[in-house]
Structure 1
């Protein structure tokens, strides 16, 4: 499997030609299939793909981790540049997604026109779905561990009823190769440990070659604060060590402060995955 980071908050130092944004998009090449996992918030991932020798026209499927703009609003541009691939979302109630903190409020949800303008290209799933042989979308996520502390700023607003986001729009992508699983977390609003636990429960005899994506350990993104305490993030890292995971590649909503705390626990198992980086797993 070859993974290429098309969009992240940061980029490789020597790739100043690449665009960055606060978002996530990863290209996956595996078992003869080309998969896009998330699409950032603009056409930047498409522009970067051309510079990284990734052919968006050849992508066989796009999987969108959840309905926040920084993961899905680039789908319009994906559809403009790819005429064949289905785009997979988790099925959920239609609502608005809101960020609220200290009197500030903003819409952080999907561009709703996307859901009506390209209905023939969108597939909504509400159960474990094998979209290609050994490529799985999982929607039933366990809740063994607490959710990220940063979730406290995120809400849904439907017909004037504002309530904490339950993240019933979030899914997990798991790819099963002969030598193990690769687990894609998106933002892991449900909790990265819960997503890992879900993968282990779904494939109990398989080791995990890698966990890839954001872990949502940031508190307030503008200030790059950590969600929770240093001790709580260290505990997450220690619990990760209990799972059969070879490597973790992260970025985006993990936050650099939290990343450095995790790095102190996980060492070489944890690596950053900035825009422009390709890895072979």
Structure 2
């Protein structure tokens, strides 16, 4: 598999020509298929794809991890540039998605106009689905471990009723290659350990070659604080060591402070995945 980071909060130091935004989009080339995982919040990932020699028009399928704007609003531009690929979302109740902290409230959810625009191309799944040979969407996510502390600022609102986001709109993408799995987490609002545990439960006795995506270990993004304590983040890293995982590539909502704490536990097994970086797994 060849992975390319099309958009992230940061970029390679030598690629100042590439746009960045607080969002996530990753391209995967595997087993003769071209997959887009998440689409950022704007057209930036498409423009970067051109500069990175990734042909958006040739993508076979797009998978959106959850319905926050920084992962899905770029879909409207994907639909303009790609005329064939289905776009997969997890099926869930229609609602509004909010960030709330210290009396401040903002809409962090999907642009609902794109749901209408893409009606003929969007596919909603509510169970484990093999979207292409050996490429799986999983919706029944484990609850074995605690969810990220940073989730406490995220809510849903329907019919005037506001409640903590349960993340029933989040999914997991797993690619099964001959020599192991590649697990894509999006933001891992359900918890990166739960997502790893989910992949292992569906594919027992199978090595995970890589876990790729954000781990949502940031607290308040504006201050780049960590979600929880240093000891709690270290404990997550120690738990990861108990699983058969070769590498982890992260960025976006993991947060730089939490990343460095995890790095202290995981060492060379953990690497940052900024905009413009390509890796072969």
Please give the range of the TM-score, normalised by the shorter of the 2 chains. over 0.9
Give the CA RMSD over aligned residues: 0.3
SS of the residue 1:162 aligns to: strand
- Distance apart, 1:5 and its partner CA: 0.0
- Match in the other structure for 1:120: 120
SS of the residue 1:264 aligns to: helix
- Distance apart, 1:118 and its partner CA: 1.4
Equivalent residues, number: 281
Question: What does 1:1-281 align with in structure 2 at a 5 Å threshold?
Answer: 1-281=1-281
SS of the residue 2:268 aligns to: helix
Structure 2: distance between partners of 1:248 and 1:174: 14
Deviation per residue, 1:196-244 (Å, 9 max, x gap) = 0000000002100000000000000000000000000000000000000
Deviation per residue, 1:117-163 (Å, 9 max, x gap) = 21100000000000001000000001000000000000000011000
Structure 2: distance between partners of 1:117 and 1:43: 16
Q: Do the aligned partners of 2:61 and 2:87 also contact (CA within 8 Å) in 1?
A: yes
Structure 1: distance between partners of 2:200 and 2:117: 37
Structure 2: distance between partners of 1:208 and 1:142: 17
Structure 2: distance between partners of 1:206 and 1:7: 30
TM-score, normalisation: structure 2: 1.00
Gaps of 5+ in 1: none
Structure 2: distance between partners of 1:97 and 1:230: 28
Structure 2: distance between partners of 1:16 and 1:47: 13
TM-score, normalisation: structure 1: 1.00
